[in-house]
Amino acid sequence: MSRVDIERKIQDENDRLAEENRKVFTEAGVFVMNIISSPGSGKTTLLEATLDRLAERVNIVVIEGDISTERDMDRVRARGASGVQINTGGGCHLSSRMVADVLEDLDLSDAELVFIENVGNLVCPSTYDLGEDVRMVLLSTTEGDDKPMKYPAIFHEASLAVLNKIDLLPHLTYDMEKVEKEIRVLNPEGEIMRLSALTGDGMDAWVDWIMERARAKKASLADGG
């Protein structure tokens, strides 16, 4: 079997298992987000800020993907999430198989939201469906305003792009309009949000966006789909 054949087989198998994961999530009535970004764009900080706003009234489960360490899982557990850590041991993205393997360790019984924090990598996770409702890309202002066209796949695939660390804009040379324009070229239908997970600026809109979709999914399931 050639390398290309093997890659296609891996992608097909990933898609098949992603559909199975999606059925499990749908039966549990949970809304699932797959969060993708470079290392250090603020995925875990965004989860912490989200948990601070929601954990008292919404049951939230987190699947933490990382090459090594349980650091991120420790951080979100401290803010009230349950969940599991997946260590890829060198692997550059999560796969639907890795998620399927931890599903039985998750208590989805009265959960409303599942966040999957992917491995910090703006390239490899782009095309791997994990069974999520929304694939989201997080990009921080400190990464520079030239990134969408340089990493086009994830901006094309993600239905939501969140621009984080807007609190640092006064200290940077950064053209927000340019970034948003490039994202819209790559994904005309996608949504774009600006926020600072650290200061809380934009967090209300983010939380409303998620909860609206989570409740719409639940209502649609209650209506028989």
Q: Does 110 bind a second copy (CB under 8 A)?
A: no
Q: Does 123 bind a second copy (CB under 8 A)?
A: yes
Q: Report the residue from 56, 57, 90, 224 that binds a second copy according to the rule CB under 8 A.
A: 90
Determine the interface stretch with a second copy among 46-54, 104-112, 117-125, 205-213 (rule: CB under 8 A).
117-125
Distance of alpha carbon 193 from its chain centroid, rounded? 14
Determine the interface stretch with a second copy among 18-26, 77-85, 110-118, 147-155 (rule: CB under 8 A).
147-155
Q: Which residue type sits at 200?
A: G
Determine the interface stretch with a second copy among 26-34, 48-56, 128-136, 146-154 (rule: CB under 8 A).
146-154
Nearer to a second copy, 29 or 200 (CB): 200
- φ/ψ of 148, rounded to 5, equals -55, -50
DSSP, collapsed to helix, strand or coil, labels residue 55 as coil
Q: Report the residue from 168, 192, 193, 207 that binds a second copy according to the rule CB under 8 A.
A: 168
Q: Does 200 bind a second copy (CB under 8 A)?
A: no
DSSP, collapsed to helix, strand or coil, labels residue 120 as coil
Closest to 30 measured CA to CA, from 106, 118, 112: 112
Q: Does 39 bind a second copy (CB under 8 A)?
A: yes
Q: Report the residue from 8, 16, 23, 150 that binds a second copy according to the rule CB under 8 A.
A: 150
> Which sign, positive or negative, has the C-alpha torsion 187, 188, 190, 191?
positive
Q: Does 143 bind a second copy (CB under 8 A)?
A: yes
Determine the interface stretch with a second copy among 19-27, 78-86, 96-104, 149-157 (rule: CB under 8 A).
149-157
Question: Residue 159 in contact with residue 136, Cβ under 8 Å?
Answer: yes
Nearer to a second copy, 24 or 176 (CB): 176
Question: Residue 128 in contact with residue 93, Cβ under 8 Å?
Answer: yes
> Which sign, positive or negative, has the C-alpha torsion 183, 145, 132, 167?
negative
Nearer to a second copy, 112 or 182 (CB): 182
Which residue blocks in the chain are alpha helix, DSSP H?
Answer: 3-28, 43-54, 71-78, 96-102, 147-150, 152-157, 176-186, 203-222
Q: Which residues bind a second copy (CB under 8 A)?
A: 1, 3, 6, 10, 38-40, 66-69, 71, 90, 92, 119-124, 140, 142-144, 146-147, 149-153, 165, 168, 171
